[in-house]
Structure 1
Amino acid sequence: MSSSPDVLTSQADRPRGSDFARLTKELKEAGLLDRRRGYYLLRMAVNALLLGAIATAFVLLGDSWWQVLTAVALAVASTQLAFIGHDAGHRQIFRSHRHNDVVGHLHGSLTGISYQWWVAKHNRHHANPNHEDHDPDIEIHALAFSRAQARGKRGLNAWITKRQAFLFFPLLLAEAAVLRISGIIALCRRELRNPWREAALQIVPLAVYLTAAFVVLSPVKAVVFIAVHQGLMGVYLGCSFAPNHKGMPIITGEQRLDHLHKQVLTSRNVTGGRWVDALLGGLNHQIEHHLYPHMPRPNLRHAQPVVENFCERHGIPYSKTTLRRSYAEVLRHLHDAGAPLRTTA
């Protein structure tokens, strides 16, 4: 689906707020908005066992280049932990805000991502996905998601944007570090509540992580271990989020859409079954997730056919594609968005 403003304009002129209430009723009657605490407790137990196995392997292997494999495993585990933190931030696990926040803060500290900072940023994205003025996920200095954004780039950012389709995946190597640094910057700017707690949650685990790496490994191996872990975690995170909205319609300041159309038209689902669900932490069901952010992850796959059928009945475009094709669509869109910089002298 291309980012055509005509699709958004035609939908924006139709007052369909009651459609969302009818869809919600269907899903609620099917029990798909009910909590799935057992699923999450099992998932967290599996993640804890995986972390324990990785930590044991790290100690037993000692100062060895085989630790590169440990770093790869840790990157996968860290991203799976981030998925749990994401779900906690959306109140998917417990009804209690406090209980979700405890889980979220714990997982944020383990992944190096400030939970409080990330939730605030992510909620702004959910409120206005792909909105050129309000979505922080399309306000990235080195990337442009529309030709209008590309025209505003200067210097190094313009050089990167001009080649962004080719540099996109290499740039993801820095994503985990960028997320970690962004949380620390927010802390230093006093943008976070309970700054002492936030400092402890971010700095203490980082100190333990660095100490373990440099005590067990030689300096060179420690640097390689950290680079592999953080780099692959960034790629995994970026590859999990990129297919969801990139290349979908951009909402301009003049356009007004109701919740149903705003979320469906700007989101893309990725097909592939349970293995894709596990690989992408349920984010492949992005349309359903954006319509109902508090819907537990395991319920999304069951809600998907209900939502797709509903959209078909009501004439609402519903976008879905395979994982491979989703990345191809993202790269084509990025290449097109950077076109103005390639045509200038």
Structure 2
Amino acid sequence: MTTSHQAVEERQRPIRERHVSDYAELMKQVTALGLLKRSYGFYWSMIIGTVLVYTGLWVAVVLLGDTWYQLIVAALMGVVLTQFGFLGHEAAHRQIFQSHRWNEWTGRLLSGLAAGLSYGWWMNKHNRHHQAPNQMGKDPDIVSDVLAFTPADAEKRKGIGEAFAKRQGYWFFPLLFLEGINLHVQSVKTAFGKRPIKLRWVEITFLIVRLGGYVAVLFILLSPGIAAAFLGVQVGVFGFLLGAAFAPNHKGMPIVPKNAKVDFLRRQVLMSRNIKGGSFVDLAMGGLNYQIEHHLFPSMPRPNLRHAQKVVRDYCETHGVAYTETTLLKSYGIVVRYLNAVGLKARGPFDCPLVQEYRA
């Protein structure tokens, strides 16, 4: 068969069939390059290094004593706990070990015992997000009691809620300082709640030891005022950094209607945004700056995401799939403008670009 005949035949194939084969071909390329293989050296270094730094910070707390300089240690502890959060996220995605059991228990230890988060709550919420990013009625990350992430949600707000929504973009980043509290509260509610979760008593034990023990030690070592301030700074930094790492990846990208059917490749690429910035951004965002590659290959180890980027970007260009990448500061500007526009109940910029294609 000639090349021209193959091209004609390719164009005549049903659009959904072509789209399914698009991802299969990309997966073959990535697999052939060995980018799905484990990176044990990287992860053991990260885990051991983070544990050592965390231990060192507790030594500093003891040596410094009852002084307001402890707030510097508190901020640094928030940074380190954020790294535990990233590592727990990667273990949940089976990026660290080949063994499912090893990944699960590593995720439980890093999330529960180190960061004070419920592994079961996180798995349920985050899996639903990956299955349908930015899709109304399916993605829990675009549902909030405080912020309106979609025009339909903004239309439900009345009174103070409506007034707040009109300028909610400006409040988004200050509110991230409260995200750490929200994460801990949701974790405790899930562990002690009625919804079924795996190994509930393990989760409860980890949360009691981590959250209860952590607070108790602070108030034993420090005066009440400094201990409370330490806790506030640490939880604030932890929540802000985690939220600031996750926020630029999907906010401001197209919103998918509830009943839309989208193929996997386009669902993950068109609803995600990558962030430029080099090694510092890689560390600060826990590899989430390669959000497109992470969503396409959730089990791909963090160090391999940057190698996969060129393959994915070239593949998307060849197949006419928009690949979005910008700087961190520009992405934050997009988030602020997007949230304010949603609050003003704008609609046009948020329509999914795939709807017309699939209807056709």
1:181 to 185, 188, 196: 185
Which residue does 1:301 correspond to in 2? Answer: 306
Which residue does 1:18 correspond to in 2? Answer: 21
Q: Unmatched 5+ residue regions in structure 2?
A: 1-13, 347-360
Contact 1:23/1:310 (<8 A) preserved: yes
User: Is 2:234 the counterpart of 1:229?
Assistant: yes
Which residue does 1:5 correspond to in 2? Answer: none
**Distance apart, 1:161 and its partner CA:** 2.1
Which residue does 1:123 correspond to in 2? Answer: 127
Q: Distance in 1 between matches of 2:336 and 2:38?
A: 36
Deviations 1:266-317 (A, max 9, x none): 0000011111111110000000000000000100000001100000000000
Give 1:94-133 correspondences, 5 Å limit.
94-109=97-112, 110-133=114-137
Q: Distance in 1 between matches of 2:242 and 2:164?
A: 21
2:52 to 35, 49, 54: 49
Q: Distance in 2 between matches of 1:98 and 1:160?
A: 45
Contact 1:141/1:157 (<8 A) preserved: no
Q: Distance in 2 between matches of 1:46 and 1:286?
A: 25
| Letter in structure 1 aligned against 2:175 | L
Contact 1:243/1:327 (<8 A) preserved: yes
Deviations 1:169-218 (A, max 9, x none): 11111111101110111122232222221110111111110111101111
Contact 2:88/2:108 (<8 A) preserved: yes
Which residue does 2:218 correspond to in 1? Answer: 213
Give 1:1-345 correspondences, 5 Å limit.
15=17, 16-109=19-112, 110-154=114-158, 156-191=160-195, 192-340=197-345
Q: Distance in 2 between matches of 1:207 and 1:253?
A: 41
Q: Work out which of the two has the higher radius of gyration on C-alpha atoms and give 1 or 2.
A: 2
**Distance apart, 1:131 and its partner CA:** 0.5
Q: Distance in 1 between matches of 2:159 and 2:55?
A: 46
Fraction of identical pairs, as percent:
45
For residue 345 of structure 2, give the secondary structure of its aligned residue in structure 1. Answer: helix
Q: Distance in 2 between matches of 1:288 and 1:86?
A: 15
Q: Unmatched 5+ residue regions in structure 1?
A: 1-11
- CA 1:156–1:53: 2 relative to 1, 3 Å: farther
Contact 1:142/1:160 (<8 A) preserved: no
TM-score, normalising length: structure 2: 0.89
**Distance apart, 1:13 and its partner CA:** 5.9
- Tell me how many residue pairs correspond in the alignment: 330
Contact 2:166/2:341 (<8 A) preserved: no
